[in-house]
Amino acid sequence: MSTVSDLPFQLQLRLLDDALDGIVIVDQQSLIRYVNRSMEVLTGFSRSELYGRSLDVLIPDDGISPHSEKIAKFMTGGRPSAILGHVRELQILLRSGETCAVEMKAVDLGSCNSRRFFGAFMSDIRERKSMEARNAGLLALLEQQALSDSLTGLLNRRAFEKEAIAAVLRSARSSAPITVGIADVDHFKNINDQYGHAVGDALLKAVAAAMRSVARDTDIVARMGGEEFGLLFPNASIEQARQAAERIREAVALIRLPLDDKIYVQVTISIGLSRLVGCKSVDQALVAADQALYSAKNKGRNRIEVSDG
């Protein structure tokens, strides 16, 4: 059976020269002894510019030291398994001064005339890395959208419940109190019917901004749906949560949404609070807070009520 070694040297050289990957061969002093056409295209250097120069010419300044250490390890008989035979990603320096992400596989070519040689195959992966970055950005955006309310920018119900469960787990270790709340915009349906959905949406955004502006850094404000908002007060007793909720109620009551030069819309909210402690689940606490909210509505709205549970 014929092998590559049976081919004339010129045919072997042509095969290397026409390879899609960039190929570089260095000797035991790390001096470049061969580059193919793809390597010229990749780096912007001509063969004559690279031949006989140290491989460091292709290594960015911040990578020269580690590279030189690895080459020295090859020369002293150290185990090259961390580099040789393994595909790895790295940056190389181009003639333009820019860097390029490549995928490289280095191989030990053995010795010839008492000189040891190493080869490396390099593939340009800039397009792939760019696509990976775009995909990562898109994934992050999708994850954000899955956990946030598109109108107000607040967390949505799903994210709120995740935060509440996480707070419960932290509280189990520290015994810190937690309070949850449900806030509801008073007479929102009437406002929507009278002024239209555009005004209603603008009002919800204003309410969200007002609530967020006075909430503590550790507090969680979320839009649960419609005109209903969720409140989570970690490390807060029911009295501390009531004080925080009162600041929120007052901030919302100050909203003046202008319709024209002479008319503006005012709004208030009612809030129900419940402890989230002991064996009470997040769902049970939210139900209790909702019942307290119902009580606040029945007592005239624009007020805060606390669950007995």
Q: Are residues 178 and 257 in the same domain?
A: yes
CB 117 within 8 A of CB 28: yes
124/242 same-domain check: no
Residue position matching structure tokens 């008492």? 114
The answer as to whether 137 is a domain residue is: no
Question: Within a domain: residue 135?
Answer: no
Residue 196 lies in a domain: yes
152 & 301 share domain: yes
Residues 6+ apart with CB under 8 A from 214: 247, 248, 250, 251
The whole domain housing 112 covers 4-129
pLDDT digits (tens, 9 = 90+) for 86-124: 788 889 999 999 999 999 998 888 888 888 898 999 999
Secondary element (H or E) of residue 246: helix 238-253
Q: Are residues 110 and 234 in the same domain?
A: no
Which stretch of 7-11, 23-27, 185-189 has the lowest confidence by average pLDDT? 7-11
Cβ atoms 305, 299 nearer than 8 A: yes
* Residue 244 sits in the same domain as residue 217: yes
At 74 the pLDDT is 46
Q: Determine the average pLDDT of the residues in 59-70.
A: 62
Q: Any catalytic annotation for residue 239? A: no
Running DSSP on this structure, what letter comes out for residue 4?
A: G
pLDDT digits (tens, 9 = 90+) for 141-182: 888 778 899 999 999 999 999 999 999 988 888 888 999 999
Does the structure show a pLDDT above 70 at 230?
Answer: yes
Q: How many CB atoms lie within 10 A of CB 33?
A: 16
**Secondary structure (3-state) at 284:** helix
Task: Indicate the number of domains in the chain.
Answer: 2
Q: Which of 40, 161, 163, 227 is catalytic?
A: 227
